[in-house]
Amino acid sequence: MLVLFAAATLTVGDPAVIFDRQNEGFPVTMAYLTGQRGGRYLMSFSGFVEDDERGSTTLWTTSPDRGRTWTPPTPFGQELAYTLVRAPENEALFLMLFGSPRRPTVFSIGYHLASGARKDDKAQYQEDLRWRASTAVIGRLARGASRFDYQQFPSGTFLGEQFPAPGLMLPGGRIVAQIWGARSRGENWRAGVLLSDDDGRTWRYRDVAYEPEHSIRNDPRTPAGYNEQTLFQTRSGRLVSIIRGREGLGRVPSSPRDTFYSRAVSADGGETWSMAELTDAAGTGAPSSGITLPDGSLLFASRVPYSRTLYPLPAKDHFGLIFFRSRNEGKTWTPERVIQADPEGRPFDGHYNAMNGQFVETGRNRWIYTFAQFDVKRKIHRLLYVPVSVHR
């Protein structure tokens, strides 16, 4: 699909496969890929189905040729064995790679649960998810190093529940990672950021958005609120956070299972943020950071919502991905392209067929958007990508 703007053309291409090892025992349900100079990719991924289920671990693999070939996957986070992870069959460890081709240091960021969620008993599983006191972990892989140097941040360091994720590496050197969770048992979730000005050696927490009212919950016993964010740095230097709200926080009146994203803005590099306000974009499964295009507009992707009428859908019965664009720093959003089938033409007929994705820079004004194809019905769990580019 082509969209003209300011003497340039934005192209959002068709999906293709970048990693498929499920027949070898390596399904992908979530993946984080970072590019390095020379076309080398590093990727961490998980094949577990349920959130934070017991035994969850992360694997990693590398590609020397932009994803055409991959090394055999191996366990990721082995540096944490015995110092943090002691009984992996009962615990949960989720790690995400975070880096930039222009920065020498690569990060591993994620969290550890001493007791993972027990998925075999539905009631117990829901109870386990109501409060997940977690250890945040952040590892640094400096240029030339062979192992990540990990820091562990016990529950209560930043929040009680601590679910950090990648974010932005700013031109001035500041790193802005995101984090969400409840500060204390019984509270709603809040969204925040972790800031570092010394290449990830130290971190400090700043709130982005919080709604304390329990009236937003579907179940009074289970937290709701703000959680995942998509971060941007605009051409003016401001940071914009597009934040997922859960349940009654931003609920779409005509489609109760859907919520609108909220927006908060920082003019000081993430130290303080404006009050979160609703946007007109609805969905879930957005990436941890979006793209600021050469004309200053913003681009991100999100799962097609449950609603069949919010956006023009080529296939009314199917789901998939919507690529959204904003020309006013995230206040309002316009669909640019909807993708509702995999590379072989099989429909995305389940809401979660397109999992949370990630933009990876591959060159000047060129990116790929990677996302896991999560198709339980057809037993397809692999990593796809969509090429995105700007041409003058």
Name 345's Cβ contacts closer than 8 Å, sequence gap at least 6. none
361: nearest Cα among 296, 289, 313: 289
Give the separation between CA 320 and CA 342, rounded to whole angstroms.
Answer: 9
Rounded CA separation 86/54 (Å): 13
Using CA atoms, how far residue 346 sits from 43, 69, 321, 380, 386, in Å, is: 26, 24, 14, 11, 16
DSSP letters of 334-370? EEEEEE-B-TT--B--STTSEEEEEEEEEETTEEEEE
HSE-CB of 42 using CA atoms within 13 angstroms: 16
pLDDT per position in the chain (392 positions), as tens?
A: 434 345 468 999 999 999 999 999 999 999 999 998 889 999 999 999 888 999 999 999 999 999 999 999 999 999 999 899 999 999 999 999 999 988 999 999 999 999 999 988 888 988 989 999 999 999 999 999 999 999 999 999 999 999 999 999 999 999 999 999 999 999 999 999 999 999 999 999 999 999 999 999 999 999 999 999 999 999 999 999 999 999 999 999 999 999 999 999 999 999 999 999 999 999 999 999 999 999 999 999 999 999 999 999 999 999 999 999 999 999 999 999 999 999 999 999 999 999 999 999 999 999 999 999 999 999 999 999 999 999 87
Q: Any idea how long the chain is? A: 392
H/E element, 196: strand 189-196
Strand partners, 63: 41
Query: Are 190 and 178 in contact, with CB atoms under 8 Å apart?
Result: no
Q: Which amino acid is at 343?
A: P
Spatial neighbors of 235 by CB under 8 A, at least 6 apart, are 292, 296
- Any idea where the domains of the chain sit in the sequence? 2-391
| Residue (of 234, 215, 231) closest to 223 by Cα position | 215
Residues contacting residue 206 through CB under 8 Å, at least 6 positions apart = 192, 193, 194, 195, 270, 271, 272, 273
Query: Which CB contacts under 8 angstroms, 24+ apart, belong to 343-347?
Result: 343/14, 343/15, 343/16, 343/17, 343/384, 346/375, 346/378, 346/380, 347/315, 347/318
CB 113 within 8 A of CB 132: yes
Residue 260: closest CA among 239, 246, 275: 246
- CA 26/CA 187 separation, integer angstroms: 37
Specify whether domain 2-391 bears CATH 2.120.10.10.
yes
What tens digit of pLDDT does each residue of 45-70 get? 999 988 899 999 999 999 999 999 99
**Residues 166/288, Cβ–Cβ less than 8 Å:** yes
Kindly list the distances between the CA atom of residue 273 and the CA atoms of 15, 264, 321, in Å, as whole numbers in the listed order: 36, 6, 29
